[in-house]
Amino acid sequence: MKLNQIVDLIKGQIHTCTDKMDIVIKSACGADLMSDVMAFSKENTMLLTGLVNPQVIRTAEMMDIQAVVFVRGKKPSSEMCELAEEKGIVLLSTDLTMFTACGVLYKAGILGKGRECE
Amino acid sequence: MSSIIKKEYDIPANDFSLAGEASSNVRKLLTQLGVNPTIIKRTSIAMYEAELNVVIHGNGGKARVEIFEDKIEIFVFDEGPGIEDIELAMKEGYSTAPDSIREMGFGAGMGLSNIKRNSDKFVLESEPNKGTRVYITIYLY
Ligand SMILES: Nc1ncnc2c1ncn2[C@@H]1O[C@H](COP(=O)(O)OP(=O)(O)O)[C@@H](O)[C@H]1O
Ligand SMILES: [Mg+2]
């Protein structure tokens, strides 16, 4: 699904990389703990999170995540937007809660790929 | 065989917003060299976790990275408090990170095992008051 469709579905706001709305997202992960994103996320190119700090952008970079959605009405700071622009990562925000945002996207066909607990 | 690229990075203590700069830099180098994306991702995860540990637990340190024709070698070290029980530290879920770190989204105790999982060779050397050294090797092929 293209990012612009995702923005419509979650009634999102675009904060960076407005030229990248054609990126196709197939799978995503939702987490407030970046440690878990690092340890469990697999091949996901979108992250939904309620955590707002620069390490979210860095974690996204390391994990090849192309778009980050901040849930519950949280907005990235200008420092974060700068870092994300530099790294070419799309930042979005939505007023939806984590559960609802994930649910809406899952229902629309976005999958979740993760390493199972051992 | 001699290395193609040799780099050294400072990992400053107490500046959490800068943690990941060194890993990000190495990532760019590997991308420029046309390294396979899966290997770049494994290298990024391993080095970022090691870098975070130096910032969070090690009071800052350094990373030395050497890229050879067939492998990447990463050496991350600090002169911080060290680790008393390495076996325990390696366990998934074990963490001594303070709440302030958890509020930033880290400190789940998954880092060291994650480094090991993403490396081809992983050596952790540490003793109380003698700092911590992490050696990571990732083969390019
Ligand atoms: N560089 C280091 N210096 C001192 N202690 C460390 C270092 N790296 C790891 N440790 C110890 O090992 C534990 C587990 O590390 P890790 O698996 O990365 O989890 P986390 O960083 O989330 O706590 C840490 O909580 C800490 O007690
Ligand atoms: Mg760690």
CB contact under 8 A, B41 and A32: no
Q: Is the pTM of this model over 0.80?
A: yes
Break chain B into its structural domains and give their ranges: 5-139
Paired residues of A24 in beta bridges: A2
State the ipTM, two decimals: 0.94
CATH no. for B5-139: 3.30.565.10
Take residue A21 and report the two structure tokens written for it: 């709305």
Q: Is the pLDDT assigned to residue B18 strictly greater than 80?
A: yes
Instruction: Decide if A27 contacts A45 (C-beta within 8 A).
Output: yes
Take residue B119 and report the two structure tokens written for it: 């490396």
Residues 33-72 of A with CB under 8 A from B: 33-36, 38-39, 49, 51, 53-56, 58-59, 61-64
Partner A contacted by B25 (CB < 8 A): no
CB-nearest to A56 from B48, B105, B114 is B105
What does the DSSP 8-state code read for residue A111?
A: B
Q: How many CA atoms lie within 13 A of A75 on its CB side?
A: 5
Q: Is the pLDDT assigned to residue B118 strictly greater than 70?
A: yes
Break chain A into its structural domains and give their ranges: 3-110
**pLDDT tens-digit readout, A6-40:** 999 999 999 999 999 999 999 999 999 999 999 99
pLDDT score at A25: 97
**pLDDT tens-digit readout, A37-83:** 999 998 899 999 999 999 999 999 999 999 999 999 999 999 999 99
Which value, in Å, is the radius of gyration of the alpha carbons in chain B? 14
CATH no. for A3-110: 3.40.1390.20
Alpha-carbon gap, residue B120 to B2, rounded angstroms = 20
